[in-house]
């Protein structure tokens, strides 16, 4: 598992809930005794002061006015002036980035050349030609094709108006992406961006991206970065890992927040900043835009347009599936499981409830379903009570089906570690090719690999399916796939999913449900 940065968060007061991220080594506490004899804990903090933003550029004067008589030299009468033959301008590259303008130019306009310089660099380095424009929140279209990526940079605290949040939510749900950049790494803006993310998509967790996220590998392979001297000297960074937070919609990071400044690196502006060095800022910028453009169609999954109804209109005798909620991103592809259940019903005729149930492992309601489904895209951990309940569920005959969303390594490592704690005497072991799960009701001897997995396996186009299982009392209690299956169930465009193609993913999923039903 990746090392975690050594940071603490300090909230000055309930009335002023700005969270400063500071090194734990600089946090000193002392007790203050009030006149009334009450003892309060207060913080005596060596909180480093954030850098000031770069100076605001003065607007350039308008071009000198030239009278019409000066535009063309006088011609001898009675010659008729001929129409000028002007060279046609080449087609304008498409707009990729829209910078958000607010009423406070002191805040948003401090780096006026950031997008222009980044796109110029990308054109030279990558041969990708795009342009940018500037709009307010009210002017953006909720159709991402008109403004594919929104970019909001600043250093002051802000708050989205309800209409702005609703408009942004519609835009993101339609497949758009918004990037927030904390200019000079200012914690006020960063805190506001996190609050805005929770306001716009309250149903999805905000989390820090791990290094196995495709954003860090979309164009450049980024494992470490260099921070600017001011960030190191002030002690606001303690490692060499990039700090990007995100909120996902269907395994697509739709809200992206850069904790430390990237804009000044794009401009090659050497003003003091808690940010990345120029080269790494541009590498991150190239990856951000490569990831976003590759995932543009991923938000429009085929599963979202499917009307799912309960088979036969009755839930009697149905196989109900509990979807396990945990601290990480767990509701990765909401349309995938219902689509798999529908396919299972088509193949087997079994009555299936298409309304999956959210299940907390700390709640007794988890024992009301015979099958639990657990997935995610990053590391997670269970509490002791959750582990005990899951152990009891499995020992009493329940089945846990888990898969690594997008085939992410951090989830894989965390899941195996949790299962070792839940069932220490019942290890996860690879299923042999002779296992009935590979033969009923579908024969699955080989599977076709998605491009991302094929690239990892020496460009193979197919391989034997990979499943692991743990037995309890002679019966299979845990079935785990370290490769992605859900993208195939959802029939979604998933360029970074490390897993199996749709037909084989669905066949494996149907077999697992069949096994859980007839065991």
Q: What is the DSSP letter of 98?
A: E
Domain 302-518, CATH 3.20.20.70 — does that match?
A: no
The pLDDT score that the predictor gives to residue 15 is: 33
Place of tokens 């099958």: 371
78 cis-preceded (ω within 30 degrees of 0): yes
Residues 6+ apart with CB under 8 A from 253: 177, 209, 213, 215, 246, 247, 291, 295
The pLDDT score that the predictor gives to residue 234 is: 97
The pLDDT score that the predictor gives to residue 320 is: 79
Cα angle 500, 501, 506; round to 5: 85
The pLDDT score that the predictor gives to residue 64 is: 53
Task: List, as one string, the DSSP characters of 30-65.
Answer: EEEE-TTS-EEEEEEE-PPPPPPPPPPPPPPPPPPP
Q: Which sequence spans correspond to the domains of the chain?
A: 92-294, 302-518
Domain 92-294, CATH 3.40.50.12140 — does that match?
A: yes
Place of tokens 């989830």: 411
Largest CA distance in the chain: 108
Tens digits of residue pLDDT in 344-396: 988 888 776 666 789 999 999 999 989 999 999 999 999 999 999 999 999 99
**452: enclosing H helix or E strand:** helix 451-456
Contact 254, 176 (CB under 8 A): yes
Q: Which residues of the chain have pLDDT under 70?
A: 1-46, 59-90, 299-319, 352-355, 519
Token digits of residue 391? 């152990």
Contact 394, 477 (CB under 8 A): yes
**Strand-pair partners of 42:** 30
| Count of C-beta atoms within a 10 Å radius of residue 209 | 22
Q: Could you tell me which of 270, 289, 292 has the C-alpha nearest to residue 111?
A: 270
Q: Please indicate whether the domains covering 92-294 and 302-518 agree at the CATH topology level.
A: yes
Rounded Cα distance between 495 and 518, Å, is 35
Rounded Cα distance between 274 and 318, Å, is 56
**Which pTM was predicted?**
0.84
Residues 6+ apart with CB under 8 A from 65: none
Contact 420, 382 (CB under 8 A): no
**Strand-pair partners of 178:** 150, 255
Token digits of residue 220? 């450049």
């Amino acid at each position: 598992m990746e090392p975690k940065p050594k940071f603490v968060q300090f909230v000055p007061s309930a009335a002023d809930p700005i969270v400063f991220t500071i090194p734990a080594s600089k946090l000193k506490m002392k007790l203050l005794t009030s006149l009334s004899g009450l003892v309060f804990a207060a913080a005596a903090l060596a909180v480093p002061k954030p850098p000031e933003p770069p100076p605001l550029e003065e607007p350039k004067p308008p071009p000198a006015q030239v009278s019409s008589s000066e535009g063309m030299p006088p011609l001898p009468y009675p010659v008729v002036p001929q129409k000028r033959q002007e060279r046609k301008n080449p087609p304008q590259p498409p707009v990729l980035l829209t910078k958000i303008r607010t009423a406070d130019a002191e805040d948003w306009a401090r780096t006026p050349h950031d997008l222009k310089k980044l796109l110029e660099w990308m054109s030279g380095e990558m041969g990708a030609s795009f342009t940018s424009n500037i709009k307010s929140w009210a002017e953006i279209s909720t159709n991402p094709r008109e403004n594919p990526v929104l970019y909001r940079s600043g250093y002051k605290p802000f708050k989205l108006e309800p209409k702005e949040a609703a408009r942004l939510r519609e835009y993101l749900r339609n497949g758009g992406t918004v990037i927030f950049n904390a200019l000079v790494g200012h914690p006020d803006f960063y805190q506001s961006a996190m609050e805005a993310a929770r306001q716009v998509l309250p149903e999805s967790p905000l989390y820090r991206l791990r290094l196995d996220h495709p954003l860090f590998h979309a164009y450049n392979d980024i494992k470490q970065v260099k921070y600017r001297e001011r960030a190191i000297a002030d002690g606001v960074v303690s490692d060499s890992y990039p700090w990007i937070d995100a909120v996902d919609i269907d395994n697509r990071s739709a809200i992206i927040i850069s904790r430390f400044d990237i804009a000044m690196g794009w401009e090659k502006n050497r003003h003091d900043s808690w940010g990345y060095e120029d080269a790494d800022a541009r590498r991150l910028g190239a990856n951000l835009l490569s990831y976003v453009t590759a995932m543009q169609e991923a938000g429009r999954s085929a599963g979202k347009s499917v009307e799912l109804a309960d088979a036969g209109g009755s839930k009697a005798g149905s196989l109900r599936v509990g979807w396990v909620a945990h601290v990480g991103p767990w509701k990765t592809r909401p349309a995938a499981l219902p689509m798999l259940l529908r396919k299972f019903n088509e193949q087997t005729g079994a009555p299936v409830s298409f309304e999956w149930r959210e299940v907390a492992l700390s709640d007794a309601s988890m024992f009301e379903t015979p099958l639990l489904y657990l997935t995610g895209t990053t590391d997670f951990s269970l509490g002791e009570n959750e582990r005990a309940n899951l152990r009891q569920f499995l020992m009493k005959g329940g089945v846990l089906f888990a898969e690594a969303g997008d085939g992410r390594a951090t989830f894989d490592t965390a899941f195996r570690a949790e299962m070792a704690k839940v069932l220490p005497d019942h290890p996860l072991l690879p299923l042999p090719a002779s296992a009935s799960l590979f033969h009923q009701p579908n024969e699955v001897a080989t599977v076709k690999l998605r491009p991302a997995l094929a690239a990892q396996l020496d460009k193979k186009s197919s391989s034997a399916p990979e499943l692991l299982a743990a037995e309890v009392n002679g019966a299979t209690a845990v079935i785990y796939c370290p490769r992605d299956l859900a993208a195939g169930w959802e029939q979604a465009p998933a360029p970074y999913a490390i897993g199996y193609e749709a037909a084989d993913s669905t066949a494996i999923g149907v077999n697992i449900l069949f096994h859980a039903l007839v065991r």
